[in-house]
Structure 1
Amino acid sequence: MASTALEPWQAAAPRRKRRSAERRQRGREVALRDLEAQPEVDCGVVLRRIREAGKDLLLSDFWSLALETVNSCLKKHLEQLKVPEGTLSEALGNLHLDSSPNESAAVTPGFIPGENPVPGTCCWKCVCYGIGNFATCVIARHQLTFLLLFLEKCQIPRRHCWVYDPLFSQLEIAVLKSLGVTVLSENEEGRRSVHGEPTIFYMPHCGTALYNNLLCSNWSVDALAKMLIIGNSFRGLEERLLARILQKNYAYIAKVLKGLEELELPETSQYTDIFNDTSIHWFPVQKLRRLPTDTWAFQEEPDYQDCEDLEIIRNKGRAPSAADQNLPWQGSCPQR
């Protein structure tokens, strides 16, 4: 169980710059040791471990504190989406964003709640990239568990959640399908348009290029205003990368920094290496409209030709530039 919780969320602070890289490396080392120690598993074993992780998460200080952050952000986003008058309060009320003692029912053997959202709730979609090899990696398994509980809390049916990782095993694909989520068959490289639908992107510890590609594919006030991103702190990226590198290699992230709000997930001792450097990002329309007028005219395809340590597996069916093919991609676990 989690020990004493640290401070609740606040805006990304410089301390992330000092601690993020060290923690992420330590997390990879722990995950690698766990991977090497795992015996061969089957679908039932993986599901049991997911249920156990869910029980631990529900009882942790991290979960209760994270719900406060989630609640704050989603309420603002619902208001921005202009839920019809008369249903906004109903929609907010139907978000199960409290932490009751009886929540352990959510991780009973079936563990597939939230399939029938309450009338009046916002019909968010959810897309998850780079969750990692959760069958063998403890970090990835806890991140998957957070996703499942998050879907339940937000009343998002699991069939409205699309999941992809280029290194999923056939076992992991079978487990995900049994859980009721939709497993994508193609590597989108993060290039998914929201197509006018409110969408939450869950991308813990993904490569920076995936976030940049996602922004590129939704580069308009209307599209960004319908998105939330749960993933690496954009403010942390700004602190860690030289300005010229950020602007050259990840131009869409650089251009949108003044058009977003970021709420960091809390840090607790139990989940230090699992949700560190993770924030919820959303894009207030007022901020987006205050960006320079030439912001939205920028439509260049990201070019990672001179990008060092690019963490993305390319889709060989696309036509990437010659320089960025077969580059390593890294998500939550060290085996990537």
Structure 2
Amino acid sequence: MAAAGGWQPAGGRRRRRGRGEAVAAEEEGGAVLRRLREARDDLLSSGFWAASAGAVRAPLSGSVEPPVRCVCYGLGRFSGCPAARYQLAFLLLLLEELGVPPGRCSLFDPAFSGQEAAALGQLGLRLLPENEEGKHSVEGSATLFYMVHCGKALYNNLLWRNWSAGELSKMVIIGNSFRGIEERLLSRTLERDYSYIAKVLKGTEEVALPTHPRYLDTFNDTSVHWFPLQRLKELSPEVWDVVEEPTYQECDDLEIIRREDGAEQRRLVAAQS
């Protein structure tokens, strides 16, 4: 899968197309993968990946199980957006580092075009079939969630879906700094709209990715988060009593696309592809 010169497309059957359409699609897909390999080489040659590897491995030095699967949300239009392409290249390096097979990594972004979905398939990655709004259960398996620059509600929904010490202790989240979220929001807003983030803060370990002048906008405010079981057990028992699903009825700036908006979003993306 990951050869020394970069990632190679995974094998598999292709659906029949007209010759001209198939050639054009193959050329487009090849260009996307070539730019992705260039982003990979850039991350490696710049030293950013080497500097980030320590933060990536930090959870594994304690009691956190090595992840056996990965879920990625909110990657964006990586065929045309350099920042999204670097984030995808970083994810693929991350899977290699942690030994997670590409087939055990699932992605979702309502903005993905058909071409991008095909490119992810060529890389051996899987697409989630629907918009989960971040409500993905670890189901007892150690899971890495890769969520760079996602909306706060997505993290909050993910925590709610796995709201027990046992499940949270199996998660590693790479995404927006929880400390940064706490610093930027008024306490009453954090507790009202994103109560699960607020409640888990004292049970969270966090290590920031290093800053690099070339990737200031791509990985700014990004941290690795994990939830050691012993720290979670030290939280007040009342923390675990209320497990109401978040509704965000009073939230003025909801930063996620709701499931009911997904069909319209997919239609717009298809029209632009």
- The question of a shared fold, defined as TM-score above 0.5 by the shorter chain, is answered with yes
Counterpart for residue 15 of structure 1: none
Q: 2:31 corresponds to which residue?
A: 45
Out of 197, 207, 224, which is 2:151 matched to?
207
Kindly state the Cα deviation for residue 42 of structure 1 after the two structures are TM-superposed: 1.4
- For structure 2, the 5+ residue unaligned runs are 1-26, 266-271
**Deviation of 1:282 (Å):** 0.2
2:67 and 2:243 map into 1 onto residues whose CA distance is: 29
- Counterparts of 2:246 and 2:69, CA distance in 1: 25
**Cα 1:123/1:199, change in 2 over 3 Å:** closer
Q: Residue 161 of structure 1 is aligned with which of 94, 98, 105?
A: 105
Residue-by-residue CA offset, 1:201-256 (whole Å, 9 max, x unaligned) = 00000000000000000000000000000000000000000000000000000000
What secondary structure does 2:259 align onto? coil
Determine the C-alpha separation between the residues in 2 that align with 1:66 and 1:172: 26
Is the CA contact 2:67–2:98 (under 8 Å) kept in the aligned structure 1?
A: no
Distance 1:303 1:221 in 2: 23
Higher RCO (C-alpha 8 Å, min separation 6): 1
Residue 60 of structure 2 corresponds to residue 60 of structure 1: no
Q: Which runs of 5+ in 1 are unaligned?
A: 1-40, 82-121, 319-325, 328-334
Deviation at 1:317, TM superposition (A): 8.8
2-structure distance, mates of 1:226, 1:199 = 6
| Per-residue deviation, 1:297 | 1.0
Are 1:280 and 2:203 counterparts? no
1:103-118 matches, within 5 Å, as none
CA separation in 1, counterparts of 2:152 and 2:104? Answer: 25
Q: Is the 8 A contact 2:72 2:146 kept in 1?
A: yes
- Give the match for residue 176 of structure 2: 232
Counterpart for residue 136 of structure 1: 80
The structural deviation recorded for 1:61 is: 2.4
Return the offset for 1:75.
2.4
Report how far residue 301 of structure 1 moved: 1.3
Given candidates 103, 119, 125, the residue that maps to 2:69 is 125
Q: CA deviation at 1:123?
A: 5.5
Tell me, in whole angstroms, the C-alpha distance in 1 between the residues paired with 2:134 and 2:253.
Answer: 17
User: In the alignment, does 2:213 pair up with 1:269?
Assistant: yes
Is the Cα–Cα contact under 8 Å of residues 67 and 144 in structure 2 kept in the other structure? no
Task: Provide the TM-score with structure 1 as the length reference.
Answer: 0.69
Rounded to whole Å, the distance in 2 between the matches of 1:223 and 1:317 is 29
**CA distance, structure 2, for counterparts of residue 123 and residue 278 of structure 1:** 19
> What SS class does the counterpart of residue 176 from structure 1 fall into?
helix
Tell me the distance in 2 between the aligned counterparts of 1:59 and 1:75: 26
Q: 1:123–1:230: structure 2 CA closer, same or farther, 3 Å change rule?
A: closer
Alpha-carbon shift at residue 305 of structure 1 (Å) = 1.3
* C-alpha displacement of 1:155: 0.8
